[in-house]
Amino acid sequence: MYTGGLLWPFGQRNNDGTISAPPASDMVHAYLQAVYDFLLDNRIGRYYGTTTPWDAVNVHVHHCGWQDSDMDYLYARINAVFDPSQNPHIGRDDVPDARPEDKKGTVIGEWGITHDEQRNTPNCLANAFTSLTKRFDAMWCFQHPNHNQDNPSLDPGHCSDSGSVFGLIEWNESNVFVKGNACPEWSALQSLYGNP
Q: What is the pLDDT of residues 129-185, one digit of tens each?
A: 899 999 998 888 776 655 444 555 455 455 665 566 676 666 666 676 666 667 777
Q: Where are the alpha helices (DSSP H) in the chain?
A: 21-41, 68-81, 115-120, 124-133, 184-192
Comparing CA positions, the residue from 105, 84, 104 lying closest to residue 96 is 84
Distance CA 65, CA 127 (A): 9
Q: Is the pTM of this model over 0.95?
A: no
H, E, C per residue of 115-139: HHHHHHCCCHHHHHHHHHHCCCCEE
In this prediction, residue 196 carries a pLDDT of 45
Residues in the chain, pLDDT under 70: 1-4, 87-96, 143-165, 167-174, 176-181, 195-196
